[in-house]
Amino acid sequence: MSAKSGFVPLLRTLSVCSLLFAVAAEAQDDPFAEYREMMGDDNPAIFVIEEGAELWTKPQGPKQASLEQCDLGLGAGVVKGAYAQLPRYFDDTRQVMDLEGRLIHCMVSLQGRDRSDILRKPYSGTGDMGTELEALASYVADQSMGMPIATPQDHPAEKATYAMGKELFFYRAGPYDFSCATCHRQDEKRIRLQNLPNLTAHANAGEAYSSWPAYRISQGLVRTMGWRMQNCAKQQRLPQLLPGSEAVISLITYMSVNGSGTEMAAPGLKR
Ligand code: HEC
């Protein structure tokens, strides 16, 4: 990422932001809240969760192994509650990893699959039927439903990852000199009909973090937190963020720790 500073980008940021926030100031009711209420517990993500459960036990790759021995942080094969305690430090890779990064690691190490193959298309395009990573993330997240977010901050690497996430969150870069904070630091902001959560604040961060992965009604697909990061980086005109990359894991850690204690409610339901 290259930072640009100076008067022109600042002016641009100010003018784009005042435009965004002028619209934002007109508080309207969330039209999707009504939809969510109507759907109740009937989140179409249920089918994606089932698909993920099948993929978890399906032998695949050159080693014809399933993911059942994958250690998501609570021991090999333990899925229940694992998502609520991610991202975390893993001894075997000596890295802090998030769910998507860890799933990819398990596909490579247990199944013998090629990382670059997986990274070629981790997320669905418009009109696609959903990818393996989306299904697996939905399945694992669902197994933490109702549990409090408890991303550990004990290991020095976990603390360093949070600190890096915070730095990235406030780091202004790209042609508009935006940071995540430009759009996500204030309360009660909107762009058009979309809420812009204040991800630096506990309540908003918890609400946002606990609802991903999420079924997007407008796209008919489950989207993961890694996809959300890619999509927001795109709005920020940054280079593409890869799933499982240090930047994504740091940003996710920053948000999960800020939202610590909030009950997991993923897969959520979004517009
Ligand atoms: C130009 C403004 C903008 C920037 C910059 C931006 N976002 Fe976003 N972000 C949005 C919008 C708009 C949405 C809501 C999208 C929607 O509902 O479709 C959103 C949604 C989100 C959500 C989901 C919130 C929820 O409640 O579901 C997260 C998490 C998030 N952004 C994180 C980030 C991070 C981290 C960065 C920096 C890498 C970032 N955003 C940069 C505009 C932005």
Mean pLDDT over 123-150 rounds to 96
pLDDT at 250 over 50: yes
Ligand 1 test: best mutation among 16, 23, 183, most atoms within 8 Å of CB?
A: 183
End-to-end CA distance of the chain: 30
Tokens of 41: 């517990």
From the CB of residue 34, how many other CB atoms can be counted at a distance below 10 Å?
10
Give the closest residue to 228 by CA, choosing from 261, 194, 262.
194
Structural domain boundaries in the chain: 7-270
Residue 270, classified by CB atoms within 10 Å of its CB into exposed (0-12), middle (13-18) or buried (19+), is buried
Is 180 marked active-site? no
- Reported as a single tens digit per residue, the pLDDT across 177-190 is 999 999 999 877 76
Residues framing ligand 1 (Cβ under 6 A): 178, 180, 182-184, 191, 194, 196-197, 199, 208, 211, 228-229, 232-233, 235-236, 251, 255, 271
Model pLDDT, residue 5: 38
Return the amino acid letter for 26. Answer: E
Tokens of 116: 């670059």
- Reported as a single tens digit per residue, the pLDDT across 225-243 is 999 999 999 988 888 899 9
Cα 113 to middle of ligand 1, angstroms = 32
Mean pLDDT over 5-25 rounds to 40
**CATH class (in words) of the domain with range 7-270:** mainly alpha
Residue 232, classified by CB atoms within 10 Å of its CB into exposed (0-12), middle (13-18) or buried (19+), is middle
pLDDT at 71 over 60: yes
